[in-house]
Amino acid sequence: MESAEVKSTTQTTQQIPLPNASTILTLGIVSVVLCWCHGIVGLVLAIVALVLASKDMALYNSNPAAYTPHSYGNVKSGRNIAIIGLVLAGVFLFFLIIALLFLGLNFALFPWEFLKEFN
């Protein structure tokens, strides 16, 4: 009888990795790499990574003993990298919009009648 109790108390539950840990890390890294593609691609990937990270962090916080600490570390790292990618993509997109506004303003204010004299 005692051996059955000892077995049941010494049995440990096997920890599993968080479901999206590697995906979050991958999306975070790719968002930083692709933030220079007009800002949109990096922005979308960073937002997806942040949404998945918040879901996985809530899942981990509800039952930390069920998941591996390594996968939680991947989620935190991916979240931090996604925040960096989000900021870089946002800054690049802001400067792209400003550059396009200045380009449009230059074309609007250019003296096009001046060019007709040369034709």
DSSP class per residue in 44-61: HHHHHHHHHHHHHHHHHH
pLDDT in tens, 15-34: 999 999 999 999 999 999 99
- Is residue 17 within 8 A of residue 43, CB to CB? The reply is no
Q: How far is CA 65 from the centre of its chain?
A: 26
Match 């990270």 to its residue by tokens.
53
Window from 23-27, 33-37, 69-73, 95-99 with minimum mean pLDDT: 33-37
Residue 117 pLDDT greater than 80, yes or no: no
* Type of residue at 74: N
Q: How far apart are CA 92 and CA 85, in angstroms?
A: 10
pLDDT at 110 over 50: yes
pLDDT for position 8: 45
pTM confidence score: 0.80
User: What CA–CA distance (Å, rounded) separates 44 from 52?
Assistant: 12
User: What does the pLDDT average to over 96-118?
Assistant: 84
The CA angle 50-79-57, to the nearest 5 degrees, is 75
pLDDT-based confidence at residue 6 (cuts at 50, 70, 90): very low
